[in-house]
Amino acid sequence: MLLQPKQLTILLIFFLHTFHGLAQDPTIDRLRAVISSSAKDEEKLTAYIQLSGKLSLISFNETIKIAERGIELASKRKDSLAYAELSRNMGTAYYFKGEYEKAATLYFDAARIYEQAGKEQPLAYVFNDIAKLYRKNRDLKRAGQNYEKALAIFRSLKDSSGIQMILNESGVVYEYQGDYTEALKRYNASLQIAKRLTDEIGKSWCYSFIAGVYVLQSDYESAENYNLQSLAIRQKLNDTFAITLSFSDLGVMYSAWGKPERANYYFEQSNKIAERMGYKELLSNNYAEMSKLANVTGNYKSALDYFTWHTQLKDSIFTSQKNRQVEELSTLYETNKKEQQILGQQLTIKKRNSLIVVILVMSALALLVVFLLYNRYKWKQKTNMQIEILKQQELAAKSILEAEEKERSRIAKDLHDGVGQMMSAARMNLSSFYNQLQVKNNSEDQSLLNIIQLVDDSCKEVRAVSHSMMPAALLSKGLPDAVDELVSKINGTALQVHFHSEGFDTRLDSNTETIVYRVIQECVNNTIKHAEATELDIALICETDIISVTIEDNGKGFSYNHSHEEEEGIGLKNIRSRIQFLKGTVDFDTAPGRGTLVAIHIPRNSSFVQ
């Protein structure tokens, strides 16, 4: 299929501008230089914000690295507005990488800060970002609600540029709902504003949106006209990100039009730029479309190749999970290997003891001095054997505890990333189904709402269980913050919890932190389940030679005999065995009707990271 001379000229100019647009912006080099220099923190923070904004649609991974460093500086300076702006830029990068949960977390953090600061205009832009997330997941109801919030703010501020943007973005919601008339109405209204403002970027997006509706209506000539207008503006402005999307849009249009050669040509050009940018989602979508084209034209091998690439890109998010599984298998292997070594050493010792017994029998008539010396040697060997066994048992116990915590972490991540994401997908699909379904009566409507609520509650329960099994604060911030997070979740009117910590200027060893946290968690759970208490006091103190933990409630207490530890329940035995592993002590002071006090003391000498 041949292109017309006019189209060939446009394409030639387009590619020249595309590769020019991919060249390094001198402003980016200047901002990097500021960050690397000895400039003041305020100047560096401004450079972090500007650089992450410029890179957010060019290099997603670099944007994330720059924004993370900027957020660290903003936190140090306690500059919440800079923190919010950097979070939004990082969220944009995660959005285009397809990591929507991370993007949502960053967007909502930024929105919270802007709302508290009364910054309406940036808040409206964040509402638009959040709406796009919901739109991407086909939660059109929430997408529309956030678009309306943004539109209301822009109108109150008389911000024509913002109004123009929201009319474009919200039109896509109506497009998804099949209301093409309303979608075109919004796109054309946005176009009129862009023309009045002489906003070339805005005009290019309007043309692109309008072309998309015409493709859905099979008016391909009109779609081609608007797509080429959008393309011309974007190549003139050197907008690499938008150019990549124009390629893809033209590919989709020509594919629907029945012009596979042109479609493939545009998809390939889109892929070249998307690969440089690391835009995996666009690459995956392009390969899916190219697979359909190859299948229609009878090129089944290419169809299979494109579909394979599409699937690999789509599934690439699970690579880290596979790595974790390999690491866990390696841990299990090392644990089994150590256990085999212990068994081998014990067998060797048994053989040695048997040999000693034979020697004793044969040497029974030997001189008394030789006999006494031999007994002394035997006693030393036995002592050394016991010391070695204790060492191996301690190593085995440590390995088991580490394996247990890693298994908890794996299960928590599987719940969060596997079951949690499936439940979230089910929730979004049910919401989409509910929005599209025409119910016959209120009873059916309420039933559907109840089902959606049940799925939503299940999502929250899975998330809560996963965070309980492996609290993020314990990994990132340390023991006091993890306990504080645990307390904040249970503190309420029924049970008032008071937590105090001091002396933790340095992080503890990860095993120590995990064990102490699990013990505190077990004590808190016992209080909630059995004590019927209204107050709970937790103290965590790190002194020069010892770490002290006290957990005291005003509940009903229980009968406890200090001299009969063998009669303790499983929960108390677990607490005692974990603390003994750290060479510490635990004491229970309780009686029926006067509450319970748990006092734990752990030596500090081996608890801190050297």
3-state secondary structure 120-137: HHHHHHHHHHHHHHHHHC
- Domain presence at residue 373: yes
Residue 17 is predicted with a pLDDT of 40
**Apex 608 CA angle, 70 and 402, nearest 5:** 90
| Same domain, yes or no: 491 and 432 | no
| Residue 112 vs residues 119, 133, 134, 159, 506: alpha-carbon distances, Å | 10, 17, 18, 22, 31
Using one digit for the tens of pLDDT, what is the confidence trace for 393-406?
566 556 666 666 56
Number of domains into which the chain is organized: 3
Which amino acid makes up residue 124? Answer: A
- Domain presence at residue 46: yes
Residue 565 is predicted with a pLDDT of 61
The residue length of the chain stands at: 610
**Which of these, 447, 600, 429, 590, lies nearest to 512 by C-alpha position?**
600
**Which of these, 473, 440, 595, lies nearest to 533 by C-alpha position?**
595
Q: How far is CA 532 from the centre of its chain?
A: 37
Residue 410 is predicted with a pLDDT of 64
Q: Which tokens is 595 given?
A: 């509450």
| Same domain, yes or no: 328 and 429 | yes
| Same domain, yes or no: 407 and 496 | no
Residue 457 is predicted with a pLDDT of 66
Residues 396 and 342: beta-carbon distance below 8 Å: yes
Question: Taking the chain, what is the end-to-end CA distance rounded to the nearest angstrom?
Answer: 70
Residues 290 and 73: beta-carbon distance below 8 Å: no
Sequence-separated (6 or more) residues with CB below 8 Å from residue 349: 385
Domain of 44, in residue numbers? 28-106
- Domain presence at residue 419: yes
Using CB atoms within 10 Å of the CB of residue 602, give its burial: 0 to 12 exposed, 13 to 18 middle, 19+ buried: buried
**Residue 530, domain CATH:** 3.30.565.10
Residue 129 is predicted with a pLDDT of 93
Residue 403 is predicted with a pLDDT of 66
557-570: burial string, b at 16+ Cβ within 10 Å, e else? bbebeeeeeeeeee
Dist CA 120 CA 387 (whole Å):
69
Q: Which tokens is 522 given?
A: 């077990």
| Same domain, yes or no: 439 and 499 | no
405-439: burial string, b at 16+ Cβ within 10 Å, e else? bbebbbebbebbbebbeebbebbbebbbeeeeeee
Give pLDDT < 70 ranges for the chain. 1-25, 315-341, 390, 393-410, 412-425, 427, 434, 439, 457, 460-473, 475, 562-568, 605-610
Residue 597 is predicted with a pLDDT of 92
| Same domain, yes or no: 505 and 583 | yes
| Same domain, yes or no: 438 and 486 | no
Dist CA 40 CA 33 (whole Å):
13
**Which of these, 278, 318, 313, lies nearest to 63 by C-alpha position?**
278
Partners of residue 587 on adjacent β-strands: 599
- Domain presence at residue 172: no
256-271: burial string, b at 16+ Cβ within 10 Å, e else? ebebbebbbbbbebbb
3-class DSSP assignment, residue 548: strand
| Same domain, yes or no: 324 and 422 | yes
Dist CA 246 CA 225 (whole Å):
13
Using CB atoms within 10 Å of the CB of residue 392, give its burial: 0 to 12 exposed, 13 to 18 middle, 19+ buried: middle
Residue 228 is predicted with a pLDDT of 93
Q: How far is CA 362 from the centre of its chain?
A: 70
| Residue 139 vs residues 145, 381, 579: alpha-carbon distances, Å | 10, 72, 49
Dist CA 531 CA 108 (whole Å):
38
| Same domain, yes or no: 40 and 91 | yes
| Same domain, yes or no: 430 and 477 | no
Dist CA 61 CA 65 (whole Å):
6
| Residue 577 vs residues 26, 69, 538: alpha-carbon distances, Å | 63, 42, 21
- Domain presence at residue 511: yes
| Same domain, yes or no: 91 and 53 | yes
Alpha helices in 197-239 (DSSP H): 200-216, 220-237
Q: How many CA atoms lie within 13 A of 235 on its CB side?
A: 19
Sequence-separated (6 or more) residues with CB below 8 Å from residue 399: 334, 335, 338
- Neighbour count for residue 208 (Cβ, 10 Å): 22
Choose one of 56, 75, 106: the last residue of a domain.
106
3-class DSSP assignment, residue 584: coil
**DSSP one-letter code for 104:** H
Dist CA 333 CA 589 (whole Å):
42
- Domain presence at residue 274: no
| Same domain, yes or no: 394 and 500 | no
Choose one of 402, 425, 443: the last residue of a domain.
443
**Which of these, 520, 514, 515, 559, lies nearest to 537 by C-alpha position?**
520
Residues 171 and 133: beta-carbon distance below 8 Å: no
Using CB atoms within 10 Å of the CB of residue 476, give its burial: 0 to 12 exposed, 13 to 18 middle, 19+ buried: exposed
- Domain presence at residue 85: yes
Which amino acid makes up residue 610? Answer: Q
Q: Which tokens is 123 given?
A: 């808040």
- Domain presence at residue 150: no
Q: How far is CA 27 from the centre of its chain?
A: 32
Which helix H or strand E contains 496, and what residues bound it? strand 496-502
Choose one of 443, 459, 487: the last residue of a domain.
443
Sequence-separated (6 or more) residues with CB below 8 Å from residue 464: none
| Same domain, yes or no: 570 and 531 | yes
Dist CA 430 CA 387 (whole Å):
62
